[in-house]
Structure 1
Amino acid sequence: MSKHAGTKDAAAPQSATSPTPQKELYPMVNWKYDMFLYTVGNIVDMFFREVVPRGAWRVPQTGPVLFVAAPHANQFVDAIILQRTLRNEAKRRASLLIAQKSVHGFIGWGSRQVGSVPVGRAQDAAKPATGTIYLPDPINDPTLVRGIGTKFGEGEGEVQGMLFLPSTKNTSGASVDISQIIGPEEIRVKRPFKSKIALQQLTGRDDIDKDGNFTNKDVKGPAPGYQGTKFKLAPHIDQTKVYEAVFSRLCNGGCVGIFPEGGSHDRTELLPLKAGVAIMALGTLAQDPDCGLKIVPVGMNYFHAHKFRSRAVVEFGAPFEIPRHLVELYCNNQRREAIGQVLDTVYQALNSVTVSAPDYDTLMVIQAARRLYNPTGKKLPLPVVIELNRRLCMGYERYKNDERITSLSAAVKEYNSQLRYLNLKDHQVQYAKMNMIKVIFLFIYRSIKLLFLFICTLPGLILFSPVFVATKIISRQKAKTALAGSTVKIRGRDVMATWKILVAIGFAPTLYHIYSAIITFKVWQDRLWGYVPEGVPLLVVYFALWPFMVGITFASLRFGEVGVDIFKSLRPLLLCLTPTSNYNIHKLRERRAELSAQVTDVINTLGPEMFDDFEKARLVPDLYKAESGSSTTSKAHRRRDSDQSSTGYEPETPPALSRRSTTQSSRALPRNDSFSNIGHVGIFSTRPPSRARSRSRSSSSGGGFGSGGFPISGFTTLDSSGGFDEASRKIREAMKNRRHKIDQERTDRDDEDDDSEEEGYDEARKKNAANHAVPFRTEPTASGDVNGPKTYRKISYYNMTLSSSSTHDNPPPFTSPSTSITAATPSWLPQHKPAKQRMALSLKNLMGSVLGGGSAKQDTKPSSSELFAKTDPKVDGEECLHDCENCSVRYPRGFKIEEEDVLYGLVEPWSTHLLVGTGKTDWVRDVADEKGSVMEAISKAAEPANGKLKLSASNMPTPHDTDDYSEPTTLLLLPAFKLLHNVHPLSVPKIVTEVINRAPTSTSPLHPTPLPASLLSPDPAAGIPDVSLKDCPHNAVILMCSHRTRDVRCAQSAPILRKEFERQLRPLGLYRDLHDERPGGVGIYYISHVGGHKYSANVMIYRRPNAFGLDDPVPELQNGTNGAEKNGNGTNGSAEESVGASQGIWLARVMPEDCENLIRYTVLRGKVVKPERQLRGGFDRGRGVMSW
């Protein structure tokens, strides 16, 4: 969808003054719709062996419905399957959105029959333009584009149109909007080109790094003699008619379907969703708030989607509605926030009906484990197979770092490789258990049967073989073409099924016509060697041959399908007859039995930890437990509700805990497939269900979106206070043992000094040389044995309820009790620094004394446990002791981090922190050296009167989306949480004196501080704008160093951590990207070097007071309000009152698996999970403490 599709003009609601509905722009004729689907649907049925609908009863029978389907893995075939399933199972007709470029030929004719709405895209309307273009000054003026022989404004190009660069072998061409036409050979674009390929095309220069930065700044223009590159131009695309058609159809009670990923792909995970689906839903409700629009997620699940005679499952999720307050936001010009929240909800809903794996190899392991987890050998229905795949993916993502899972995955991969070596399928291994006589008899019987089927199939095979050959060749060619023009496809298989069907639709009738014409000619010539009587007309012969050949084709298809299955079964039988191969296949069968037992045992062990009602209902008997004579579940893995369910008893009142609606890891299920009736779909369980069990949902709890209302019990198996005391005692003993072990094994090792450390760290180390240290600790096992196996517990992602639209003014409820701050560092932790660090500090103290700096100052400061509250498993749950188990990203191999130094106190004191928006992720070594920049002006300005200023460049967007330092930019002042817009280098002195000097600092009390709402321009005649101040919309910000020039580890770690932070925040509705100004969320930004990159990754977190309503109680301020209540605009618009950030937390050695708990506890609650290992310092203004 084009960029204009999301603009206000395009998506504006129609006037509600006229009650008469407008005529539909793309009408649907019911009989044409049904006839087309019947015809094409039969052809699709020939391609697929089985298409199974699941949950079609959830589709509303009346009223408007918006269907969102994913993953879009089969181009046009997805649309036919979805529409046919809706018509046959739910009796609803749905219009789908289709790309304008596809509305041609047979596809265009078919789309009109089913009332599809064409969506124009700028790239589809692009045409080659005259002349060539280049960048005359890519460094100082990157938005100016100059042409050679071009005709801008003279029939080519228009304002708000688009410019496209040529595509390369593996990358689609860059595109940009045209903002101004200066002349026939000169235009200005809205944003600069940033990719390396685009800049090489426009400049002809090779001195460009992979981030799009010129390494030779002295050369301002293109390469000498460069004549530019060819390009394409596209007109402005108006999507108003598209939205009007969708609004009209939905307001009239119709159904609309959309694939929100924006295009087809063959990846194993969902692509980011486009905003069009949210605009359609919100726009419809804005036009008619009482229309009752519902959104239904649809999962398109395939087994080898590109192969002939494959299988598919179409799963419909629970319908949901858009909250009214989001519609009000949409109507009140707060569309970005409303659209973002709707997209988050849709994404979570789609996760509940799809199977997503991080990569193809993982998906293969999951599917192999699913086949092994079937002790009875009973064939499972396709919906059960899909559900089992989904649950196994959830378990794998959560426990993939568990030693049991990693070893089992390696064993399953080895088993799959042995199957490939013998060219066998998993289900064929069972032949090894047959005796030799039975194998011989079965081999002879199937050979005879195969011969008979081959004879029956041969006529159709001969007639239809050209079609098979043509479909295979053409589909592969189209896949290569699609892959070359896409950046999201892996092998281009998403277009293969479509082209196989299209080729067959066109080529098969042509073959039938040729065959019929040849036979008719033979009848005319000699009456087909005399077999056709003279009185039979030639037309009768011609038309009679068509159904005859179609019948032969269908018969051959059915005979051939059975014959192929029999042919595949002959190889394992033949291997059983061969002595050497017989031994191998018998060994493989034994190995399969072992793996099946291991998979079943792991699932039965870890299943109850993920699902409380794992034992409540079983469908397939657990043979392994039956053989061992155990009639009950092991006590180590049984839940109390399992015992109750076995007797038919269920608690009437569920626990009063709440959970978030859906997460990437939890994949909440629709209501009818909630965890409370998991056994009814044959997942993870093998015990027969009780027929007397009630299907009522009245006893369920939760209530989050898609959760289905399943009962939730406490997130621990400790049933009494004595149990907690015992666990605490064992944890202390384990930690003490671990401390002794670390002391014994720790030796002095050489390490290179960090030559890029700032000079101020010398003084910081001298200042803190005599302070006690708190090294990191390991996580004890529940048994208290440090070296023993880990015992995992069921844990909740968040023991809280978060509202995605809440802000600090309206905090959501919190169900867990408050946590008290630890008063002192535990005495059982070691209290000294490693020898290497002590030597380094002593040497620097000596150097400081020689140079006249004196010895380190022995001052008193709070310990790490006194500075910030530390998580406590008794209060916060056992999840605070475990890293994220479903983290799918890791640092690259060879990523080295210094692990021995004690971090606490290794920071320079700072009063204010100023972030300068540059739109870049890497900078020169010292950002103050950027000539003509705001950073340079700040470094040369007078020192702030209220303490040390920490200066950081940031990737925050600039007002003009340019990295030109001479243009005004945006600043973020912390801890004041103030955004300063339109900041020019000449405005810096006034900003220092009138804003920074008056702003709250890290040591100032937590009370509102009035700041000016704007600053006058220092030179209006030069076009320098006034500086405006606004409160930052975020409740918290996460800052990560990405300064590659200083250390490559920062550039490696920052994107990985950002991805993981985003994955944790998005399901909560708290994620904010660089252009997202919705209030109440968490902003994530890259910053320049902050020091100590050998402790990568460095993460700084600034939080408002009680940012998300989950903090411990904060003392009241002098005026009787807290920080969360004084965060808005001031009166009369002349000034803004803000208390700013209450906490600034500086962490290091942050790993991707730490991100879950950092969000859960540090960002949302202000607690630190691993202060002994990760905390470098910070401040807490609410309690008046800091680390210096």
Structure 2
Amino acid sequence: MVNWKYDLFLYFMGNLVNLFFREVVPRGSWRVPQTGPVLFVAAPHANQFVDAILLQRTLRLDANRRVSLLIAQKSVHGFIGWGSRQVGSVPVGRAQDAAKPAQGLIYLPDPINDPTLIRGVGTKFGQGEGEPQGMLFLPPGKKTSGESVHIDQVLSPEEIRIKRPFKTQLALQQLTGRDDIDEEGRFTNKSINGPAPGYQGTKFKLAPHTDQTKVYEAVFARLRNGGCVGIFPEGGSHDRSELLPLKAGVAIMALGALAEAPDCGLKIVPVGMNYFHPHKFRSRAVIEFGAPFEIPRHLVDMYRNNQRREAIGQVLDTVYQALSSVTVSAPDYDTLMMIQAARRLYNPTGKKLPLPVVVELNRRLALGYERYKNDERITSLSKSVKEYNSQLRYLNLRDHQVQYATMSIWKVIVLFIYRSIKLLILFLCTVPGLLLFSPVFVATKIISRQKAKAALASSTVKIRGRDVMATWKILVACGLAPTLYHFYSIIVVWRAWYDRLWGYLPEWMPLILVYFATWVAWMVISIAALRFGEVGMDIFKSLRPLVLCLVPASDFNIHKLKQRRAELSAQVTDLINTLGPEMFPDFEKTRLVPDVSKVETGGTQAASSTEARARRDSDQSSAGADAESPPPLSRRSTTQSSRLLPRNDSFSNIGRVGIFSTRPPSRSRSRSNSSGGGFGSSGFHISGFTTLDSKEGFNEASRKIREAMKDRRKKSDKVKMEAEGQKMAVSLKSLVSSVLGAVPGGGGLASSIITGPASGTGPAPMEALFARTRPEADGDECLRDCESCSVKYPRGFKVDEDDVLYGHVKGWSTHVLVGTGKADWVRDVADEKGSVMEAIDKAGGVTNGRLMLSASNLPTPHDTTDYSEPTTVLLLPAFALVHNVHPRNVPQLIADVVNRAPTTSSPLTPWQSLIPSTIPSPPDASSSSSSSLPPLTLESCPHSAVILMCSQRTRDARCGQSAPLLRKELERHLRPLGLYRDLHDERPGGVGIYFISHVGGHKYSANVMVYRRPNAFGKDDEPLPEGVDEAVAAKGEDDDDGDNGGEKKKKAEGEVKEKGDVGAAQCIWLARVRPEDCENLVRYTVLKGKVVKPERQLRGGFDRRKGLMSW
């Protein structure tokens, strides 16, 4: 494998896959080991070669690992063979590929007493057909795959003995012709020993023995060298809804590698390939990585000591269980559709669910159905859900489109006309590409169907052959689209040569330039046609439910369907809440969708609760299997007009089309985005344009511009003089503080010298506030930058290195982080129209000190970025998450939460003793009851520490550049410690990394603030203050002591929950942080609360344990 060839091939193929899929979401990629040998086992293998590209590309981009996949020998030819060699694939010969129909028929002469003896009629075993170690294949059933088995001995031309008996009902029926066999493969009438009277036998296939020695040697060599190998252990692609039996090869590879090199540290990582209609164009996929595991040493010893069958069986069982934890399996397609329908109905909060959560819900519901499928409540509810699905199919509707039944007739009419106009314009934009490249669309559909039929005919496991359709659609498009580009370009070049394109083409332009320019133009037109067509199709599908609402004959049907949906949603939710705790002991702790009844006020009646749940479900339900909600990490911008459309359709993509966009697709750096610079802003008034139709008008405008520029220069000079004076005063203050800092009370004396007498203790000296790293205690590495750091700031990234930093930040009492789901905002976040930031800025009323307000990329509960839904706020230093915050209840947030919460100067006391966990929303006379807000709910932030970095590009481009680079480097050092937590990681403890808005001091970029709990990771040198239980410190520790550590952690978490959360003990504010500082920042600042370079980087902070602050 050549690395640059590997990366280049994946780059081009990955772009093609991105065109085919609407979105591909990785989940759990942080679990992939960064070093050492790894064996990836992926299932289900539902998309032939596309599975391989998605897996390799996801691992390369999200885990920085290159993997060699095993590929069938029969596929190593043509373009597929060339591409497999570029990515280092290992070809494997499979018995089913060499299987051929054999002569004669076979049956079981004595299935009860001698089930391994096979007798043939007209067969030629050992005479060119059939050999020891070969394979025997039985025909597939209607909805089940055919069984296969190895041949042990050839007894005669008409008799063979197989290595194990057949055990499935289908196989025994094929070999005996009897109908007295139950589902477990047992004969109910054992008085009959042979086959059914007159039964001749069944057809079969035979395959010769395949030597896999070279394959195993190649795999062992890659694993010994610390590489990665990937395998689809089902043995081949299929389109079934459940996992196929795993082949023994994956266990042999793992055990064989460990037998040769026991200390290589091989880990096995299960990978779930979860698709929503994998064969369809612009569908979605979730690639989920499970927890890595190792094979126990005793199994390796068994494999060495000729107990291979037992060792291989146990490894296969472990791999199967691991794959079951990352895949969704159902016994048949109808059951899978019923489970997905139940998942759409189970959404009591009415909020949109991220795609990974959708997959996890499907998996848990499938597990619950498998366990309780015989329960009378489950069977009754399943029947009702299937009937609801049938009604949807009858009306040709999707589940999320039932919400149109709640609209008034006039709203439906306006929306229908509005969308029809959009559809017409999009159709006109799509027509050129549709006409030019219709051969590609037609050819991909026809050829993929032909290949599916051929694959189905040659397979014993496929149902409809859909697993090959996506591959052939992409391959045909790869070959035919460039051919059409070339053909059309040749026509244009010929016309340019003939008459210079009817005289419009300049004579100086060479024909070769015309050729390449038209080639690029065809590509742009085809991609534009795809995007316009996709959005247009979504709009077209949304018109039918609007028409049904307008037709009187169907109006009753859709409204009746809406009522039925509300009833089913309540039934599904109640049943899950009843059976969930029985199946999952930690159901309430690990539930994916919160129960609204837990946060409602005590006076709410059950009837109103059910009605509210039904209303939310009908107004905003999750999408179907073919239209899922987008992932939280790849958020989309929604325009005002798109809020009128269903959340689960992709109409917000219209915002990226120039003719429909209501705002620029990318944020401009123009001053118009700043305060007062744009329409609707809260700055100075902007009057309309005037006509300048005379010379005097132009002269007058020029005079006013010159006067304004002159005034601006005067103001700028004044600001510079004030800044210089402040800088001199601050430098003198820092000098005196550093001189008197070592003397007890010197901090207050220094402050008095510069600013006069002050109340309180004044700013704390640098050495007294935070401990600094010392080589004699922390080792020599504490003062060295990371040598392995490969991330660098861009050229021209300038930072002010002259100013003294410490002690110059303005003090704050409470820090409020508002979740917005994005990493950049307008220049002043208080100017974000309709946001919580704007409401907090206007509300005022903070009584417990200065409030620091920051917008952040904390995810919003509804995954929106337009401030239309309530959001979540992180309150620091309390480490409290406040949910359901909306501009309308901001005064209540300030009065009942912010003013009561612990501050930077308060002692370490639990915030639960100061603030109730649920605060009912006050009645809003200006709003109807249907739009009343849910109560404010508070819970402890699960993180042990939080790292905040300014990412506001609109204030300073350096912050937009430095924040993503620092985050990448911090993640690299936190992952091996098991401490990194992404935006949706539910595990307690660890370190959360979030982007925030402007905090001041952009010229010292990058600014990093670290909030830490008391003894967050058990490594602080400072003792805990009196009254703070050790359980608070244990809350963030990641114990690696096996079961004892886990029990200790659970006990500590229980104590924390009982005694309360004291929040952050420290905030360390650093500046001038570079990527090479990140290793020591994690090792000493995050884990131990120490500062590595205080003179150069420390700006300030507080320590509530010591009662000290830098201001």
TM-score, length-normalised on structure 1?
Answer: 0.47
CA distance in 1, matches of 2:300, 2:358: 39
Query: How far, CA to CA, are the matches of 1:708 and 1:568 in structure 2?
Result: 55
1:136–1:315 Cα change, 3 Å = closer
Q: Residue 449 of structure 1 aligns with which residue?
A: 422
Q: How does 1:903-914 map to 2 (within 5 A)?
A: none
Q: Which residue of 2 aligns with 1:587?
A: 560
Q: CA deviation at 1:612?
A: 3.6
Partner of 1:253: 226
Q: 1:224-269 deviations in whole A, cap 9, x for unaligned?
A: xxxx999987654221110000111001000001111111122222
- Find the aligned partners of 2:563 and 2:202 in 1 and give their Cα distance: 64
Match in the other structure for 2:314 = 341
Residue 577 (structure 1) shift: 1.9
Quote the offset at 1:393 in angstroms.
1.9
Q: Is the 8 A contact 1:176 1:189 kept in 2?
A: no
Instruction: Give distance in 1, aligned partners of 2:550 and 2:197.
Output: 77
Map Cα deviations across residues 813-861 of structure 1 (whole Å, 9 max, x no partner).
xxxxxxxxxxxxxxxxxxxxxxxxxxxxxxxxxxxxxxxxxxxxxxxxx
| Residue correspondence of structure 1 range 1096-1115 to structure 2 within 5 A | none
- Residue identity opposite 1:499 in structure 2: W
Counterpart code for 1:314:
I
Structure 2 residue runs of 5 or longer lacking an equivalent are 608-911, 919-937, 943-978, 990-1011, 1014-1031, 1055-1111
* Alpha-carbon distance in 1 for matches of 2:433, 2:230: 38
1:559 aligns with 2:527: no
Which residue matches 1:389?
362
Secondary structure of 1:542's aligned partner: helix
Contact in 1 for aligned 2:448/2:469 (Cα 8 Å): yes
Structure whose residues are more often helix by fraction: 2
Which residue number in structure 1 is paired with residue 21 of structure 2? 48
The aligned counterpart of 2:878 is: none
Give the match for residue 71 of structure 2: 98
Q: Encode CA deviations 1:603-652: one digit per residue, 9 max, x unaligned.
A: 23333333344334788665556667458999xxxxxxx9999997999x
| Match 1:366 to one of 324, 336, 339 | 339
Aligned partner (choices 64, 68, 71) of residue 44 of structure 2: 71
The amino acid across from 1:60 in the alignment is: P
The 2-side partners of 1:293 and 1:302 are apart by: 29
Q: Does 1:114 align with 2:83?
A: no
> Per-residue CA shift, 1:747-788, capped at 9, x if unaligned?
xxxxxxxxxxxxxxxxxxxxxxxxxxxxxxxxxxxxxxxxxx
Count of aligned pairs? 642
Q: Secondary structure at the match of 2:320?
A: helix
Distance 2:941 2:73 in 1: 55
User: Alpha-carbon deviations, 1:275-325, whole Å to 9, x = none?
Assistant: 111111111111111100011111111111111111010111111111111
The partner residue of 1:286 within 252, 256, 259 is 259
Structure-1 residue corresponding to 2:371: 398
Q: Deviations over 1:322-376 (max 9, x none)?
A: 1111111111111111111111111111111111122222222221122122234
Q: Does 1:318 align with 2:291?
A: yes
2:411 corresponds to 1:438: yes
Alpha-carbon distance in structure 2 between the residues aligned to 1:267 and 1:500: 20
Match of 1:466 among 426, 435, 439: 439
Identity %: 70
Residue 96 to residue 607, structure 1, CA distance change in 2 (3 Å): same
Contact 2:40/2:228, CA 8 A, preserved across alignment = yes
State how far apart, in whole Å, the 2-side matches of 1:336 and 1:705 are.
Answer: 35
Distance 1:706 1:31, change over 3 A: farther
- On the 8 A contact 1:137/1:222 being kept in 2, the answer is no
Question: AA paired with 2:420?
Answer: S
Are 2:179 and 1:239 aligned? no
In structure 2, how many angstroms separate the alpha carbons of the residues matched to 1:406 and 1:222?
39
Residue in 2 that maps onto 1:309 = 282
CA distance in 2, matches of 1:80, 1:456: 32
**Contact kept in structure 2, 1:618 and 1:679, CA below 8 Å:** no
Pair 587,166 (structure 1): closer, same or farther in 2 beyond 3 Å: closer
Cα displacement (A) at 1:536: 3.5
TM-score normalized with structure 2 length? 0.51
Distance in 1 (CA, whole Å) between partners of 2:1050 and 2:322 is 16
Which whole-Å deviations, capped at 9, do the CAs of 1:978-1034 have from their partners, x for residues lacking one? xxxxxxxxxxxxxxxxxxxxxxxxxxxxxxxxxxxxxxxxxxxxxxxxxxxxxxxxx
Contact 1:428 1:572 survives alignment (8 Å): yes
Distance 1:389 1:122, change over 3 A: closer
Give the 3 Å change call, closer, same or farther, for CA 596–232 of structure 1 in structure 2: closer
**Counterpart-to-counterpart distance in 2, 1:583 and 1:146:** 65
1:562 Cα deviation after fit: 1.1
Residue 532 (structure 1) aligns with: 505
The 5 A counterparts of 1:734-1133 are none
Query: Following the alignment from structure 1 to structure 2, what is the Cα–Cα distance between the partners of residues 466 and 88?
Result: 34
Deviation sequence 1:1080-1123 (CA, Å, 0-9, x none): xxxxxxxxxxxxxxxxxxxxxxxxxxxxxxxxxxxxxxxxxxxx
User: Which letter does structure 2 place at the counterpart of 1:459?
Assistant: P
The residue that corresponds to 2:518 in the other structure is 545
Query: Aligned with 2:587: secondary structure?
Result: coil
Conservation of the 8 A alpha-carbon contact between 1:83 and 1:93:
yes
Unaligned runs of 5+ in 1: 1-27, 635-641, 652-669, 681-690, 715-1188
1:671–1:709 contact (8 Å) kept in structure 2: no
Contact 2:14 2:57 in 1 (8 A): yes
Partner of 2:1087: none
Q: Give SS of 2:42's match.
A: strand
Residues 703 and 304 (structure 1), Cα distance of their counterparts in 2 relative to 1, 3 Å cut: farther
2:139–2:204: 8 Å Cα contact kept in structure 1?
no
CA distance in structure 2 between the partners assigned to 1:219 and 1:445 by the alignment = 69
Given the superposition, is the C-alpha separation of residues 215 and 539 from structure 1 closer, same or farther in structure 2, using an over 3 Å criterion? Answer: farther
For residue 285 of structure 1, give the secondary structure of its aligned residue in structure 2.
helix
CA contact (8 A) 1:138 1:220 kept: no
Do the aligned residues in 1 keep the contact of 2:43 with 2:243 (CA within 8 Å)?
Answer: yes
Which letter does structure 2 place at the counterpart of 1:441? V
Superposition deviation, residue 711 in structure 1: 8.8
Query: Does structure 1 retain, via aligned residues, the 8 Å contact 2:137–2:206?
Result: no
Match of 2:326 in 1: 353
Instruction: Compute the displacement of 1:71 (Å).
Output: 1.1
Paired residues of 1:619 and 1:679 also in contact (CA < 8 A): no
**1:66 and 1:182, CA in 2 relative to 1: closer, same or farther beyond 3 A?**
closer
Alpha-carbon contact 1:483-1:492 (below 8 Å) kept: yes
SS in 2 for 1:519: helix
Instruction: Tell me the CA shift for residue 483 of structure 1.
Output: 2.3
CA contact (8 A) 1:261 1:271 kept: yes
1:79 Cα deviation from its structure 2 partner: 0.8
Give the conservation status (yes or no) of the 8 Å contact 2:433–2:529: yes
Q: Is the contact between residue 106 and residue 202 of structure 2 (CA under 8 Å) also seen in structure 1? A: no
**Match for 1:62 among 17, 24, 35?**
35
Task: Please give the root-mean-square deviation of Cα atoms over the aligned residues, in Å.
Answer: 5.0
The separation in 2 between residues aligned to 1:516 and 1:128, in whole angstroms, is: 49
Describe the shift of the 1:214–1:627 C-alpha distance in structure 2 as closer, same or farther (beyond 3 A): closer
Report the CA distance between 1:190 and its aligned residue.
6.1
Give 2:449's aligned amino acid.
R
SS at match of 1:311: strand
- In structure 2, distance between residues paired with 1:510 and 1:708: 66
The Cα of 1:698 is off from its aligned counterpart by 6.1
Matching residue of 2:485? 512
Separation (CA, whole Å) in 2 of partners of 1:410 and 1:229: 38
Mapped contact 1:301–1:386 kept (Cα < 8 A): yes
- In structure 2, the CA distance between the partners of 1:169 and 1:273, relative to structure 1 (3 Å rule), is closer
Alpha-carbon distance change, 146 to 46 in structure 1, aligned in 2, over 3 angstroms: same
Q: Are the counterparts in 2 of residues 167 and 173 from structure 1 also a CA contact under 8 Å?
A: yes
Contact 2:258–2:264 under 8 Å retained in 1: yes
Shift of 1:379: 1.6
Give the letter aligned to residue 503 of structure 1.
Answer: V
